[in-house]
Structure 1
Amino acid sequence: MKVMATALARHILVSSKDEAEKLKQRLAKGEDFAKLAKKHSSCKSGRRGGDLGEVRPGQMVKAIDQVIFKKPVLTVHGPIKTQFGFHLVQVVFRD
Structure 2
Amino acid sequence: MPLALARHILVKTQAEAEQLKQKLAKGADFGQLAKRHSLCPSKKRGGDLGEIRPGQMVRAVDQVIFKKPLHQVHGPVKTKFGFHLIEVIFRDR
**Would the TM-score normalized by the shorter structure come out above 0.5?**
yes
Instruction: Name 1:37's counterpart in structure 2.
Output: 34
Regions of 4+ moved over 2 Å: none
Give the Å deviation of 1:8. Answer: 0.2
Alpha-carbon distance between aligned partners in 1 of 2:81 and 2:31, rounded to the nearest angstrom: 20
Per the normalisation by structure 1, the TM-score is 0.96
Give the Å deviation of 1:89. Answer: 0.3
Give the Å deviation of 1:65. Answer: 0.2
Where does the alignment leave 5 or more consecutive residues of structure 1 unmatched? none
Among the aligned pairs, what percent are the same residue? 71
Where does the alignment leave 5 or more consecutive residues of structure 2 unmatched? none
Per the normalisation by structure 2, the TM-score is 0.98
Instruction: Name 1:65's counterpart in structure 2.
Output: 62
Give the Å deviation of 1:12. Answer: 0.1
How many residue pairs get matched? 92
Give the Å deviation of 1:21. Answer: 0.1
Instruction: Name 2:72's counterpart in structure 1.
Output: 75
Instruction: Name 2:85's counterpart in structure 1.
Output: 88
Question: Could you say which structure has the larger radius of gyration?
Answer: 1
RMSD: 0.3
